[in-house]
A and B are shown apart, each in its own frame.
Chain A
């Protein structure tokens, strides 16, 4: 069965675009797991609430970029509050407790959104419309911009982590929380900070992704599942791995949806997860530990 080249091309670009957004969400998730062993079930809801805050800001100010900023900051604050109230007391306890706690939080946030915003999906207007010629096909500019922006944000995160005093704090705390503390690094603060950063990234993804789909209270659910899969496939706590895995899985799904419906294409990510767990459980892109 021959597939038109145009379709393949479009799907490839689509895959990369979704992959970058997924990478943005997954990076926060894997960062949080790496530093405090917390599997943040509520991450999808932070993504969703970011999108909602984005819609409201957009309505009020008319500026997409302002919406992006306000959403990131607001949700970062929300994240910090959640971490301090619900997750700090759980530090040192069984990691399964944090899954349960964050699951409870996700239930609350989801239904809160349903309550506040109602069940009807909202739309975020793209900041600019217009398409360009990608070979023989018209491709929306906006999508490319999303991918670039996501890459920029992730790049910024990487730079922040590599240089800069706080980057060292974060990396040190991730490697050895106890010695970091003994070196005077305020570990509880670092934890809150990283959670806030993760939340901000999720919120930013929500706003960026908003124009592609409708914004509704359940949009976090699909994303969280995919994000978990990506984090496991990429290697938990491995930033680079989760980015590669995001793009890899999104590309596969994009190609798969040429033949199946998008609802079925998700099976691809499930299969990748299962195969990874069976054969390379530490992560697909992680060298197997000696």
Chain B
């Protein structure tokens, strides 16, 4: 469904991605591991259209999306939850959700349904619906960021380090959410530093180093033998 082929990308003059290739099938949960600075976030940003690839192709459901502006990529069905959450701090919770909810082709009834679904999964958001995003705690903001992406009814969600800085209880909640999304056949491309979590939820895992994918294996394999993990991540 999502096919990234040999993508190169720059941040200014720095050559960050040196030919990254990744595949995600419909409904799959794929993990992307690697040390800090190897280009995991940049990969997600490039898929999303926030960074332009200088070389290579990105295809989604058969369509070339490299070079497409982010708002069109989002509308095709790719959701993005960035590393620092980046919720709209001055908008209320409901307004944050509405940025994804107010779309063409969504009936009012469907909107109510989606909203209700999200409130059930994240009850704290219902409580705080009229509060400004900036007043939420870190964990709550993460919930909001994920909920916001879900509002787009995406076919795949790009999750960038969702558990960073969260308490174990919240990490468990994230694990749960990933499970629920997977059950609803929403694919997930998960970038994480939390290796055990990634091993647990993913079906396949890519490991990156210095802007390329160095290793690619089914998660089961890596769970059984974590020598490779030690090698690339040093843990």
B159 to chain A, nearest CB (A): 13
B63 to chain A, nearest CB (A): 16
**A180 CA to B74 CA, complexed, in Å:** 10
B119 to chain A, nearest CB (A): 19
Most-contacted residue by chain A among B70, B75, B148 (CB, 10 A):
B70
Say yes or no for A99: interface residue by CB 8 A criterion.
no
**A186 CA to B99 CA, complexed, in Å:** 11
List, in ascending order, chain A residues with CB within 8 A of B49's CB: 181
- Top 8 closest pairs, chain A to chain B, by CB: A184-B74, A181-B70, A165-B102, A183-B99, A182-B80, A181-B71, A179-B86, A184-B75
Give B64-75 as 1s and 0s: 1 = Cβ < 8 Å from A's Cβ atoms. 000001110111
Known contacts A184-B74, A187-B69; 6 additional CB pairs below 8 A are: A172-B95, A180-B88, A182-B82, A183-B74, A184-B103, A186-B71
Given known A172-B91, A180-B99, contact A185–B71 (CB-CB < 8 A): yes
Q: Which chain A residue lies CB-closest to B76? A: A184
Contact of A179 among B69, B75, B82, B95 (CB under 8 A): B82
Given known A175-B89, A182-B50, A183-B152, contact A188–B69 (CB-CB < 8 A): yes
Say yes or no for B90: interface residue by CB 8 A criterion.
yes
Interface contact B88-A182, CB-CB below 8 Å: no
A179 to chain B, nearest CB (A): 5
Interface contact A182-B48, CB-CB below 8 Å: yes
Say yes or no for B98: interface residue by CB 8 A criterion.
yes
Say yes or no for B179: interface residue by CB 8 A criterion.
no
**A172 CA to B89 CA, complexed, in Å:** 9
Say yes or no for B100: interface residue by CB 8 A criterion.
yes
Say yes or no for A168: interface residue by CB 8 A criterion.
yes
Given known A171-B91, A172-B91, A179-B88, contact A187–B71 (CB-CB < 8 A): yes
A286 to chain B, nearest CB (A): 14
Interface contact A184-B90, CB-CB below 8 Å: no
Q: Interface size (B, Cβ < 8 Å)?
A: 25
Q: Which chain A residue lies CB-closest to B104? A: A184
Say yes or no for A114: interface residue by CB 8 A criterion.
no
B60 to chain A, nearest CB (A): 14
Given known A181-B71, A182-B70, contact A165–B98 (CB-CB < 8 A): yes
Q: Which chain A residue lies CB-closest to B70? A: A181
In the complex, chain B residues 68-121 whose Cβ is within 8 Å of any chain A Cβ: 69-71, 73-75, 80, 82, 86-91, 95, 98-100, 102-103
List, in ascending order, chain B residues with CB within 8 A of A171's CB: 88, 90-91, 95
A158 to chain B, nearest CB (A): 15
Measured as residues with beta carbon below 8 angstroms from the partner, the interface class of chain A is: 10 to 19
Give B132-163 as 1s and 0s: 1 = Cβ < 8 Å from A's Cβ atoms. 00000000000000001000100000000000
**A178 CA to B71 CA, complexed, in Å:** 9
B211 to chain A, nearest CB (A): 22
Give A162-198 as 1s and 0s: 1 = Cβ < 8 Å from B's Cβ atoms. 0001001101100110111111111110000000000
List, in ascending order, chain A residues with CB within 8 A of B103's CB: 184
Given known A178-B50, A183-B74, contact A172–B99 (CB-CB < 8 A): yes
Interface contact A181-B98, CB-CB below 8 Å: no
Give 28 A-B contacts (CB < 8 Å), ordered by A residue.
Answer: A165-B102, A168-B91, A169-B99, A171-B90, A171-B91, A172-B95, A172-B99, A175-B88, A175-B89, A176-B86, A178-B50, A179-B82, A179-B86, A180-B71, A181-B50, A181-B70, A181-B74, A182-B50, A182-B71, A182-B82, A183-B74, A183-B100, A183-B148, A183-B152, A184-B152, A185-B99, A186-B71, A187-B71
